[in-house]
Amino acid sequence: MLRKMMVQRIPRFVASPSRPLHVLVVLIPLLALPSILRAEEAGGLKVGAPAPRFTLKGYDGKTYKLSNYRGKKVVLLDFGRFTCIPCRSVVKDLEKLHKHYKNRGVQIFSVNLDGPFAKMAVPKGIAEFKLTFPVLLDTKAEVAEAYKVQTIPHLVVIDTKGIIRLNHLNYAPDLQKILSAQFDRYRLR
């Protein structure tokens, strides 16, 4: 399902005698509805569910296992692509959060879904945004499928017990505030 999403398709709505402009004015806000829905309704595992375990290679060549952080750190997974405009806004905010929380019990990962474009997009994105947190390569979208990611950006906060505490879809101007509240609530002190 996610592999089909790699190519975004936007339906065309054109005013015509059979489809007047005032009907389009009503329909256009409905296109944003999936980003307004709670993550479990629009995709993603339910809050309170155990987070699926995974092992992924990072762009840095290291291997990362979710299980290595259990009992130690809150984990944020950012499923996205560097070729996605809202995803680019998310990573800017995540870099700021990483600088604040990196030694405070929080591990941030970007789970990259650029697929065949990853070889070009990932190093360019890391350099452009000066990212200092790991970018994991989910080239076959297997981890994204395990987390039932259906739209991007999709962020998942996992507590120190391995339980999903937040699913967040799309970019929001108050994203740093939303995530900081989750980190402060679930991190070890």
Residue ranges per domain, the chain?
39-186
> In this structure, are residues 167 and 39 in contact, taking their beta carbons and an 8 Å threshold?
yes
Q: What is the pLDDT of residue 2?
A: 44
3 state SS of 129: helix
CA distance 67 to 54: 8
Cis, peptide link before residue 134, omega less than 30° from 0: no
pTM metric for this prediction? 0.79
In whole angstroms, what is the distance from residue 119 CA to residue 32 CA? 31
Query: From CA 10, how far away is CA 170, in angstroms rounded?
Result: 16
The predicted structure's pLDDT at residue 104? 97
Give the residues of the chain that fall short of pLDDT 70: 1-43
Domain range 39-186, CATH class: alpha beta
Distant-in-sequence, close-in-space partners of 184: CB < 8 Å, separation ≥ 6: none
The per-residue pLDDT for 92 is: 97
CA–CA dist 106, 47 (Å, integer): 18
